[in-house]
Each structure stands twice: as structure tokens, then as C-alpha cells.
Amino acid sequence: MQQYSLQPEKSWEVRHTTQIHSSRSREYSASVTTYQDFFAAPGTVWNALMFYEEIAEDRPFLLRHFLPTPIGSQGCKSTIGGEVKCQYVGGHLIKRVTHIIREQNYRFEITQQNLALRGIRLLGGDYTLRVQSQHCTRVALATHYASLNCPRWVFGRLEAAVCHSFHRSILSAIRSNL
């Protein structure tokens, strides 16, 4: 599995690669994580968390070019096992909540992807909140996916750039909700 992280004090960070043996010939798993500090208590940040499909702001260039346009979402995202159907122009995703520790961690898996993402199969994502100081909370936003795109040294970096743009868009919307 490749992991790319964008942290306040670091640039790109690549950890390791895993080839998935599946019905697909050469599928590679990857995780991309982006960090951002918010000058607010964890409870305040927690209440502002949102999915990409809930953002009303204009999308950045990379997202307009590489990702389908979100329409909205419906379903229960506040309980473990709850499912949310995320609608896009041309398809949908279904996310199932798998883990919630209030004000600390929120995790979901993709149970259905009816959406063309150029050789990408989404696996899930998570939000992790960590207290940095009394009124500062660091949010780590991660996306987990599998990719058929090769060569990995090119596509891995392009996928990471799109994911970081995706994460920064969500984190910016969270900041606006505080």
C-alpha cells in the first residue's frame, strides 16, 4: 500500500506499496492523508465535519477535471452501520459508517461504487481528530483506494495530488462551518 501524507511540517511522504491479488490484473492499494489544524475545540470541529457531497462551494480545478460533480447525499451518517448514498452526475457511491468515537475518529467504507473514476476503486475514508493544545485540533483526513493505473511512479503522485485537493476542499468547508 502506498501512503502519501501532506502535513503542515512535511511535503509528500510515501510509505510502502502493496499489490492486491484480485480478479483485476494489477491493482494497487493506496492511502492518502492530509492534515490541517483548526483553532477550535475538538467538539466544535467534530460538529462541523462533512462529506464532500455536502459542500456547496465551487470545486478547485483538479476536482472539476478529475472527479464527477457531486449532487448531494442522503441517509444516516451518525450511527455505526448507517449508510449514506452519495449522488454524483453520472452515478453514486454508498458509504457505510464502520467506526465512531465522538470527537476523535469517524471511519467509513465504500460498499457500492457506481461511478467511473478512471481506474480507481474507492475503499473508504476516515477523519481523525487530535488535540494539539487547549483550543487547537488537528484533523487528519484519509482516503483509501485501489488503483489499476500504471506506472505507479506517475499515477501514484497524480492520484495523491487529486486526493489532497479533495481533502483541502473538505477541510476548507469544515473551516467555514466553524
pLDDT tens digits for 42-82? 999 999 998 898 888 888 898 999 999 999 999 999 999 99
For residue 88, list its beta bridge partners: 70, 91
C-alpha–C-alpha distance, residues 97 and 106, integer Å: 8
Query: Do the Cβ atoms of 88 and 94 come closer than 8 Å?
Result: no
- Residue entry with cell 452526475: 89
pTM: 0.86
Residue-wise pLDDT for 110-120, tens only, equals 999 999 898 99
The answer to whether domain 2-177 has CATH 3.40.50.300 is: no
- Domain segments of the chain as ranges: 2-177
- Give the pLDDT score at 140: 97
Query: Do the Cβ atoms of 141 and 170 come closer than 8 Å?
Result: yes
- Give the pLDDT score at 14: 38
